[in-house]
Every structure is written in C-alpha cells, then in structure tokens.
Structure 1
C-alpha cells in the first residue's frame, strides 16, 4: 500500500512532512485493503453513493499491482488498490485508483496527481475514464487539499481534483441502522466522544447480529477483525454491555451477542467452561474449568484465523487480530494448501 502509518516521519522547519525511504505496511493498512477488495461496491454505496450508481459492479475486477516512481518522495511505490469496472451508460471501462492515507501529508494532493498522471500515461488508450479516490483514515479532522491548480491570470492550464472520503468526519450515529458491512467494520473510525463509546460498542454488536444472517463466517470474521483493530474493548466493557441487555429483558439478544463474540473476547464464557467441566470430572473441577476455558479460547482463535487465511489476509494482520503467533498461522496456512 502506498501510504503506511508505520513509516518514520519528521517535520522540518517549514512544516513539511518528511518520510524515510523505507516503507512498510501495518496490519491496519493490509486489513483496510482487504476490506475494500471484499466490499468495494458496499464501500462506494456507503460513502460515494452517486458514483456507486454510475458503475456496473458486475464487471469489477482488481488489477495487478503497479509500481510507480514517486517523484515527490523519490521512491518507488506500489498501487495496490487499482481496479477496472464499467460505467452503466456506455461500454467504456473505468480505472479506479483507491488510495488509503493514514497520516497527514502536506504534499498528498501532489502525489495523487503524479499517480493519476502515470496511470493516464500507461492506460489512456484502454480507459475512457480514470477515477482517483483518497480514503483518509487518520483521526485528524482538518481539511485536506484535494485539488492541484495551475493557471495564468487569463488562462487555466490545469485543474485536478480527486474524490475523498474522510472517515472521521462522519458521525457514527448516522450509520448504526445500516446493514452495510463496511459501516460495521469502520464504525470505530468515525466521530464519537468518550461518553458515547459504550453506546457505540452496543450499536456495533447489534449491527453484527443483523449481518450474521447475510454473511458467511469468513466475511463476518473479516468485519470483526477490522473493527477490533480500530476499537479494542476491555473485558469489563463487553461484560457490562451483556449484563445491561439482560437487565433490560433482552435475554435473547444478550445470548446471541455472547455466541457471536470470538472466544478470546468471551474469555471462554460458554464453550470453554463446558469443556472444563467435562475435564474436571477426571482432573478436579477447578483445574478442569481453567484448562477448558483456555482450550475454548484457542479453538475459537484458530477458527477465526482459518477464516481470515481463506480471505487472503497476510500473517501480521491475522496475528494482530487473533493473538496467535506467526508460526501457528504459517502452520495453519500450510494445512490449507
């Protein structure tokens, strides 16, 4: 991915952001890329609905990575999120360049123009339209420059403007009734206050209950793993939510939420204790329950890891999402081949 929050940065006296030549992907970057690859149409429907209506998603396919030399940063970068689709009114193919940006960069609008220019140079005979889209995932809500203008007093030479989606500018309450999986995955990246955190978490869990009826296990696991990267609740917080639902008489909803949570979030609440009791008959109740809880956690972690492997996520992202070590993930990956 072109822009990684993991790159080193400093600011010179001019205020311009400087980046080291070494670039690395973070689990957040890789997970966000996979989200867009899996739910591209849903992403556009949620944040760019007018554009979504103009595209024929039945002809959408992701293209191979393109290596472009970044003149601004004087380093080569890969365009990971490049896809081909069609417009509904016409047979021309469209090239869409999605660029996640996780930190502030005063030259970002210039780099977007450079990427666009390189793509135009390479593909102008193949595609009638090229659409650059920037997705800002940082917490900073300040305005970002989205245009590059060059002109004389009496003549416009160039005006380039890319589409942008700034997650933090969206209020989380506007999305809690949505059945769009992208809304659930990114709810924790939207604007909310500390006082609203518990309410946001409850709304997110209810969204998952609805999505559970529409998505397979692998896609649901992807949504949950990404959401946990952006909002990581404590044990006490989730336990309090379930307790409050039961106190309000929402026993069925509380039960479904407990079933939905991965075992390392439920701390072996059901599956592990049940196995522990069985082992406790032979080994002693207290020790057996403890071992059963641990076994339940591990089994659920491995189940989710297998789902994420099937979706193509890389090892560091799965390690971050499940807590398993990289050797365990690689061993599971080999078994799936």
Structure 2
C-alpha cells in the first residue's frame, strides 16, 4: 500500500477559487501509472500495469477522514497486481491545506497506523508538497515519553526541488503536471507571463507523439483549469493553438462541448466561426450551397438549426437558408420567429 499526501496551498488567483484538491484527485485517477512512475519509480517496476488498477470504495478508510472535520479531502484507493501475481493496495491521499503546519508529521503517522492496524498492509508513505513556501514541517514523527520511544519517517518531495529545465526535458508525462503546479505560483499576478508559460507547455505536450491522446486530454484538463486566464487571454490562446489542435483528430474526438476545458472549448467555437465565415464568403462567390459545404470544417459537431440561425442573422433570404440547410421553409420561418 502506498500512502501519498499531496500538500497544496489553496488560494485565489484573481478569478474563481482554484479547486486544486479536485484537480489533483482527477488527474491522479486518470494518470495513475504516470503518477507512480514519477514519484515512486522503484514501485512502478514491480506493478503490472497491463492490468488496470481497480479503484476501491472510499468508505474503506472513512474512519480516517472523519477525524478531520471541516477539512476537504480527495482520496484515491486502488488495488493493483504486481508482476509476481500478488495483489496490493495503493492509497493516494491528496490534502489541500496551508503551509508550515507543524502537526503534519504527526498526522502522517496517524494515517499510517490507522490503516496498518485495520488492513495489515505494508505501507509506503509519500508526502508531496506543492507550495513554494518552505515548510516548517519535519520529515519524521518522534515520540519519547519515560522510556517509550517511537520514530516514524516517510519519503518527502517538494515540487520546488525539481528544476524547470529538468521537468521540461523529462519524457515522463507527470513531469508536466509538476511543472504546471510550479507555474501556478511562479505566474501569480502575472497574467501575460502565465499565458506564455501555458502556451509553451500545452504546445510541448501535444507535439509529443509518445503521449497517448487520452493522457494528453487529462493533462490539458488539469493545466487549463489550474492555470486560469482571463477571457481575453483564453481566446487568444485558443486562436494560437487551434491549428495544432485541429490536426489532432483523435484528441478532438475525445472532447465534446460538455467536457472540454475553456481553451479547447473556445478552439471549438473559433473553428465553427472560421468555417462559417469561409462558407458564406464562398457562397456569395460561387453559390451559397457549395460555399457552405466547403465552410463546414467541423460540420459534424453542429446541427442544421445552428447553421440556419447564423444565416438568418446574416440577412440571407429564407429560401436560400432553406436550400442550404435542407430545412423546410416553414422550419426556417419558425427559427426566424424565435430569433425575433
């Protein structure tokens, strides 16, 4: 069993509050193997990841979290199979909290002994600190009282200890997650710098053909919501990466308007607008029907009613709208009435 704590400082960055807790939980669940590969490479060599991890019911360790009322928790409890055939549990506990908490080592120990006492599983404890501030928390817990002594230590990591250059060169996908976590603090109150950082990071990820497109989707979700930008900068970034994303057919098919993060969603909208503008222009030159067919770059993602609305707003005759979209004249008139 692996007990991993990811420590975060929950802050506001000029927009909505960043749900780092939820983002970390989601990305670790989706990139579980990459998380283990980055932070516990020796363990990774022993796990048979050809068998998908089975994520277990959180109620198995509810008694542990119940004692911390008022705090938010995100947990991932997975059962994996080792290459020797044994089954093991891996518990990833993600905690969003303030820095410089001196009680942290004691709570690390409390989680250890409660889980060990209940499940009798061997535990590898990992603490990951993402705040740039130097924590006063020790890397071990000690108890000494009238001859009764205890020393409990665990592996401790800080994202700030990984140089940016090393993370940029690394082929490990989770290195980009760590790089984004560092960038969150480095670009605080520096939106243009964040825009440049985010653009460079997303470009590097999508250009790496060794990363599966499903994994890229998970990383993009984490980066896009963690490194928030204003609407203006989001649209600018969408325009910038739109040609690159458009070529990623497999990646585009993974998204829809319900699950796409802001930058990708805007890229969808820009693609539609560009296609429609091109279609109208060609239609005026060569005939509306032919122009619209060439303009529908992502026609499978839009409905005929949406096209009709755009054309009506362009003041085109209703008969031409009917011909171009395949809708009846009565349907087109009904859409016009709703727009009015």
TM-score between both structures, scaled by the size of structure 2: 0.58
**Distance in 2 of aligned mates of 1:262 and 1:241:** 5
- Determine if the alignment matches structure 1 residue 98 to structure 2 residue 113: no
Deviations 1:187-218 (A, max 9, x none): 221268559756633441232223466423x5
Taking structure 1 as reference, are residues 163 and 156 closer, same or farther at Cα in structure 2, changes over 3 Å only? Answer: farther
SS at match of 1:278: helix
Question: 8 Å contact 1:99–1:134 — kept in the other structure?
Answer: no
Question: 8 Å contact 1:42–1:181 — kept in the other structure?
Answer: yes
Q: Which structure is richer in relative contact order (CA contacts within 8 A, separation 6 or more)?
A: 2
How well do the aligned residues superpose, as a CA RMSD in angstroms? 4.5
Residue 131 of structure 1 and its aligned partner are, at CA, apart by 2.0
**Distance in 2 of aligned mates of 1:120 and 1:181:** 31
Aligned residues: 258
Which residue of 1 is the match for residue 79 of structure 2?
Answer: 84
**Distance in 2 of aligned mates of 1:276 and 1:188:** 36
Alignment of 1:38-53 (within 5 A): 38-53=30-45
Which residue of 1 is the match for residue 206 of structure 2?
Answer: 209
Instruction: Please list every run of 5 or more consecutive structure 1 residues that lacks an aligned counterpart in the other structure.
Output: 8-24, 244-252, 283-291, 300-337
Question: 8 Å contact 1:56–1:87 — kept in the other structure?
Answer: yes
**Distance in 1 of aligned mates of 2:264 and 2:65:** 44
Deviations 1:270-310 (A, max 9, x none): 4322223435769xxxxxxxxx9xx99x97xxxxxxxxxxx
SS at match of 1:57: coil
- Determine if the alignment matches structure 1 residue 132 to structure 2 residue 133: no
Residue 119 of structure 1 and its aligned partner are, at CA, apart by 1.0
Select the structure that is richer in helix.
2
Task: Select the residue among 27, 39, 47 that pairs with 1:35.
Answer: 27
Deviations 1:146-165 (A, max 9, x none): 31112368x67322223333
Question: 8 Å contact 2:7–2:96 — kept in the other structure?
Answer: yes
SS at match of 1:135: strand
Deviations 1:16-58 (A, max 9, x none): xxxxxxxxx9743222112111212211222332332344434
Which residue of 2 is the match for residue 249 of structure 1?
Answer: none
TM-score between both structures, scaled by the size of structure 1: 0.59
Which residue of 2 is the match for residue 224 of structure 1?
Answer: 220
Select the structure that is richer in strand.
1
Which residue of 2 is the match for residue 22 of structure 1?
Answer: none
**Distance in 1 of aligned mates of 2:143 and 2:94:** 25
SS at match of 1:175: helix
SS at match of 2:37: helix
Residue 221 of structure 1 and its aligned partner are, at CA, apart by 2.5
Instruction: Please list every run of 5 or more consecutive structure 2 residues that lacks an aligned counterpart in the other structure.
Output: 12-16, 249-261, 285-294, 303-340
**Distance in 2 of aligned mates of 1:30 and 1:118:** 24
- Determine if the alignment matches structure 1 residue 67 to structure 2 residue 62: yes
